[in-house]
Structure 1
Amino acid sequence: MSLSSKLARTAVAATLTAAGTAAGYKLTTRVLRGRYSFAGKTCVVTGGSRGFGLVIARKLVRAGAAVAICARDADQVRRAADELARRGEPGRVVGGVCDVTNREDVRRFLKTVTEALGPVDLLVNNAGLISFGPQASLTAGDYENSLATHFWGPYFFSEEVLPMMKRRRSGRILNVASIGGRVPLVHGNAYTVGKHALVGYSEGLRSEAVKFGVYVTTVCPGLMRTGSPRHALIRGKHEVEYAGFKILDSLPGLSCSAEYAADAALEAVKDGRAEVITPWPFAAVATFHGVFRNFSLDLLGLLGRAMPDAPGPIGDQVTAAKKGYEVETPLSRSALTGLTERAAVRNNEV
């Protein structure tokens, strides 16, 4: 037998072995964990009044769950809760105002939820704060706000619901991180830091909670069309930064619909999987970054060179933060951003 034939047979055998091992692992873990159902469960979705959180809440209501949502804006919470109530059974939706960075707010909201709907079966830590701008334009406050929202918020909620889940030896926690929790985002460093903290916390929590029958899943979406760019905090050259972000967020193939990402996340919760990265191009990017980290960081450095600098002289480049909707331009409202504009209307982001 020639060397090429031996190599080909070895490659085929290795592929079949890997495929068989993966299939066996998936089947075994599914049998051990069981297939989770949302029907009849009490589910809490933070940041559930708009965007990705609202999309997830809709799907949970449709699956027969009792759903509680919270956010900081009372009007948005009311509109979202009214919509969810129309989609579900009477008395099975709760909406409340809650600042996830305030532990007393978290306790007060969860007390209301458990009194109205019962113990929490699924916690979705989704509340987030998108911020973009060059490093030189960011402040310590940007980092503090990101960590408060993306790490301390999920920590406060998880610490409150874990005891009830452990006592019943059953429960699910879905932590909505970001591809930024796996790969640094150029001009998104404060956001990246917060999401990296959430990924680390989520993985560590899973490793200890699983023995109590509680499965923690981390979802790291890439670009998805939720309509959220309008509420992003922008620093630096506001109009340029915002238009670029919104256009990328709207591109088919590079971005995915919020509904697609929500389905992927909830399927992972049902299976008790540790992580899902969606859409697939971002999963490939995360894998590449993990294996070829130095090369990947060099490529990100090249991207950073092409990005606009912060205005002003070096050493004096901090600029005021503005919301996306404050810096709209004809370009950011063009046909290039049509998908994101429609998503904003659909998902209570306007």
Structure 2
Amino acid sequence: MPASELQGLSAVVTGGSRGLGLLLARELGRAGCDVTIAARDGKELAAAAGLLAASHGVQVRTLVCDVRDRDAVHELMAQTAARAGGVDVVLANAGVIQVGPVGDGAVGVGEFRNAMETMFFGALHTSLEALPYLRRSPAGGRLALTGSIGGLMAVPHLLPYSCAKSAIGSLAEGLREEMAHRGVSVTAVHPGLMRTGSHLQAMFTGDTGREYAWFASLAGLPVLSMNAERAAARIVGAVERRRPRLVLTPAARLAARAHGVAPVLVTRANSVLARLLPAVDGTAPGGVPVRGADVTMPGSAARSRLVGLCSRLNERAADRFNQRPA
């Protein structure tokens, strides 16, 4: 195998303590990068570093950083550059998932603000603080921003997520256009459903049990969702090759193309889907968010077993990718 162009470069992954971020750090480490992972939770970071070293033989450094705080991101880049002699590769991956219907007190302004602060402004802070270092990189800096198929087309009951990811997509495209002549490549990454175990960390509102049931089931189905390890390898490969855009999973590519060709038709189809999703009927606790790992499944034992069967692969991924809450 030829040596990776990333060999010996200094890399930073935000949201690197679990799920996709953890796997991106693993792939960068395997490519020979000096990797720093950042996240809000110091205990999660320590667990992630231990998992990467024990299971994959990848050594990473960790720094606690809340990407919503630009000063904290400034320190992340400055400390990494001081230790590693620069910053060459940055993957802005920090994110949150909120699942529930808009209105009736289920999903409100707070959820939209949290999504924008964490994902869009987190990506913006990371980009702005990284760019001075990336422009000075002898190898030519590489920046990747994690969007989503949910940012290319709105997804019912995931509107805060879709809005933030849509803004990230625009940011990535605009930065690529403006940074091309400065020697910095920017890759917009738009994954579809991936089996990362994120259903346990997502926040559910409205009829939390039924919201969890559909989300966990779809996120774990092999036909609709993608193996997260394969996804991470493809993302790092795209960053290495300086691709402008990567849309992952056949279903996501098909959806993105359909929306581009016939947006009205796709929007009408999603309206039908929205009517099939759980509604707030006054018996659910409205706007009280519940983490997926803490959701109580309603209904029959057979229904619970069905959800468990559909999400089995995702449950396994949660154990492997540091998603299981302590």
**2:315 aligns to what?**
341
Counterpart of 2:311 in 1: which secondary structure? Answer: helix
Task: Decide whether aligned partners of structure 1 residues 237 and 297 sit closer, same or farther in structure 2, where only a CA change above 3 A counts.
Answer: same
Larger radius of gyration: 1
**1:274 aligns to what?**
244
Task: State the alpha-carbon separation in 2 of the partners of residues 113 and 84 from structure 1.
Answer: 19
On the 8 A contact 1:311/1:317 being kept in 2, the answer is no
Task: State the alpha-carbon separation in 2 of the partners of residues 332 and 266 from structure 1.
Answer: 35
Residue 48, structure 1, aligned to residue 16, structure 2: yes
Q: 1:201 aligns with which of 146, 158, 171?
A: 171
Residue 104, structure 1, aligned to residue 104, structure 2: no
**1:116 aligns to what?**
83
Q: Cα distance, 1:273 vs. partner?
A: 1.2
Counterpart of 1:184 in structure 2: which amino acid? A
Q: Cα distance, 1:311 vs. partner?
A: 2.9
On the 8 A contact 2:86/2:137 being kept in 1, the answer is no
Residue 321, structure 1, aligned to residue 289, structure 2: yes
Q: Cα distance, 1:111 vs. partner?
A: 2.1
On the 8 A contact 1:70/1:95 being kept in 2, the answer is yes
Q: Cα distance, 1:312 vs. partner?
A: 2.4
Q: Cα distance, 1:168 vs. partner?
A: 3.7
Residue 239, structure 1, aligned to residue 199, structure 2: no
Task: State the alpha-carbon separation in 2 of the partners of residues 73 and 151 from structure 1.
Answer: 20
**1:138 aligns to what?**
107
Residues 279-304 of structure 1, C-alpha deviations (whole Å, 9 max, x = no match):
11210110110110111111111111
Task: State the alpha-carbon separation in 2 of the partners of residues 62 and 332 from structure 1.
Answer: 37
Residues 237-270 of structure 1, C-alpha deviations (whole Å, 9 max, x = no match):
0000001100111111110111121122122112
Give the TM-score normalised by the residue count of structure 1: 0.85
Residues 7-61 of structure 1, C-alpha deviations (whole Å, 9 max, x = no match):
xxxxxxxxxxxxxxxxxxxxxxxxxxxx971110111000101000001101111
Give the TM-score normalised by the residue count of structure 2: 0.91
User: What is the total number of aligned residue pairs between the two structures?
Assistant: 312
Residue 160, structure 1, aligned to residue 134, structure 2: no
Counterpart of 1:253 in 2: which secondary structure? Answer: coil
Counterpart of 2:91 in structure 1: which amino acid? V
Task: Decide whether aligned partners of structure 1 residues 333 and 72 sit closer, same or farther in structure 2, where only a CA change above 3 A counts.
Answer: farther
Counterpart of 1:44 in 2: which secondary structure? Answer: strand
On the 8 A contact 1:49/1:80 being kept in 2, the answer is yes
**1:76 aligns to what?**
44
Counterpart of 1:46 in structure 2: which amino acid? T
Residues 52-98 of structure 1, C-alpha deviations (whole Å, 9 max, x = no match):
00011011111111000011111110111233345557xx6210111
Counterpart of 1:275 in structure 2: which amino acid? R
Task: State the alpha-carbon separation in 1 of the partners of residues 172 and 195 from structure 2.
Answer: 24
Task: State the alpha-carbon separation in 2 of the partners of residues 216 and 342 from structure 1.
Answer: 32
Counterpart of 2:246 in 1: which secondary structure? Answer: strand
**2:301 aligns to what?**
none
Report the RMSD for the aligned CA atoms in angstroms.
Answer: 1.9
Which blocks of at least 5 consecutive residues in structure 2 are unaligned? 298-303
Counterpart of 1:165 in 2: which secondary structure? Answer: helix
Task: State the alpha-carbon separation in 2 of the partners of residues 333 and 185 from structure 1.
Answer: 21
Aligned identity (percent) is 37
Task: Decide whether aligned partners of structure 1 residues 212 and 338 sit closer, same or farther in structure 2, where only a CA change above 3 A counts.
Answer: same
Residue 59, structure 1, aligned to residue 27, structure 2: yes
**2:300 aligns to what?**
none
**1:186 aligns to what?**
156
Q: Cα distance, 1:333 vs. partner?
A: 6.1
Task: State the alpha-carbon separation in 2 of the partners of residues 342 and 166 from structure 1.
Answer: 40
**1:27 aligns to what?**
none
Task: Decide whether aligned partners of structure 1 residues 204 and 279 sit closer, same or farther in structure 2, where only a CA change above 3 A counts.
Answer: same
Task: State the alpha-carbon separation in 2 of the partners of residues 207 and 154 from structure 1.
Answer: 17
On the 8 A contact 2:98/2:203 being kept in 1, the answer is yes
On the 8 A contact 2:16/2:22 being kept in 1, the answer is yes
Which structure: greater helix fraction? 1
Following superposition of structure 1 onto structure 2, how do residues 238-317 of structure 1 map, counting pairs within 5 Å?
238-312=208-282
Task: State the alpha-carbon separation in 2 of the partners of residues 142 and 213 from structure 1.
Answer: 37
Counterpart of 1:190 in 2: which secondary structure? Answer: helix
Counterpart of 1:257 in structure 2: which amino acid? N
Q: Cα distance, 1:317 vs. partner?
A: 8.6
Counterpart of 1:189 in structure 2: which amino acid? L
